[in-house]
Structure 1
Amino acid sequence: MKCFLILIFCSNFVFSATPWKGIQNRYWQAQKACDKEQMLHHAQHAFSYAKSQAPRYLPLSCFYLGQAFIQIKHYSQAEYYLRQAWVFWRKIYGEKSLDTLFALTLLEEVAIKRQHVQRAQYYRKQIKNLLQQRSAPRQSHDFLSHVMGGDRSRKGINTINN
C-alpha cells in the first residue's frame, strides 16, 4: 500500500512545474535508496526545499515525510507530518479530495501501529464518510485530478496540458 501511494504520486507529477523538480528528484532518490535512513534523509531535504522554495508543495512534502517516518517505524513523527498534510489538503481542496483520502489511509495505519484504537476508529469513520461523499456526483477539485487535467481554472499550477 505504501509503495503504491508513492508510485501514484511520483507518476502523476513527472511533468509538473519547475519548483517541483527539486522535490521530485529527492523523492526519486528516496525511492531508490536501499537504506531506510537514507530514504528519510532525502525526504527531509525535499521537505526543507518545499518549505523554503516551493511552499505550495508543502502538503505533499509533509505526506512524503510521513511515509518515510513510517518506513523507519517512527510512528509519532509520521503521524505528525501526515496530519499536517491532511489539514493542509482539507483547507485547500476540501473534505472530498483524493489527497485527503491518501493521508487518512496512512493516518489510520499509523494509529493501528501505535495501538491507538479510538484514533484508528476516527480515521476509519472519516475514510468511510469521504468515500460516501466521493461516490456522489461531483466536480473534482483535488490536486491529483487537477494535475491529470481536471480543474483547469486554478491559476499558478502548471499541468501536463498547459
Structure 2
Amino acid sequence: MTTQHQHLVYGHATAHDCLVFADAGTATEEAAEIQALADARTWGEARQVRMTHLWNPAGREYHDPKDGYADDMPFDITEVGAVADGNWPPMVTKRAFTVLPQDLQDRCGKRQVTVHDGDYLEIPVAGEGGLVAELRERGYEVTRDDALINQLGGFRLGSPAA
C-alpha cells in the first residue's frame, strides 16, 4: 500500500445521490469558473469569462454573435447547448477515477455506464466513514464540502435556488 500526500474534497452529489471525490487543489478554482459563467448577464460577459480548468461553452466557436448571440444580448446559462444537454460542466462523478486509488474504487464504488456521458463511479453515501478513514490512513487529507461538490457538478446551475 502506497502513501499519498494529496488533499481531496468530497461530498454528497445530490444529482447522483452518491459520494464524489475531487482534487482540492483545483476544485475551488473550477467552481469559481462555473459560477462566473453562471453569473454573466450578457453573451459578451459570458464569452469573456476566463477558463483555466474548464472550457467555455459560451465561446464564439460555439455561439457566434452573427447567429443571434450578440455581445449585448441577455445571457442565461441554462440556454447554452452544452449546459442544457448535460455536457458542461463535466460530470463530477467521473472524478473518482482519477483521484482515488484503484483498489478503493473497486472495493467502495460501482462503475456505472451512461449512454452520453461515459462511465462514472457510484460510491454509496453509507460507505463514507470507512472510505474516508482508509484514505486518511494512506496519508490523504480529506475534507467534506457538499456545496462545492454540487457546484462542480452544476447542480441547480442557473436556478434561483442555487
Same fold by TM (over 0.5)?
no
Q: Per residue, is there more helix in 1 or in 2?
A: 1
TM-score after normalising by structure 1: 0.29
Tell me which of the two structures has the higher relative contact order, counting C-alpha pairs closer than 8 angstroms and 6 or more residues apart.
2
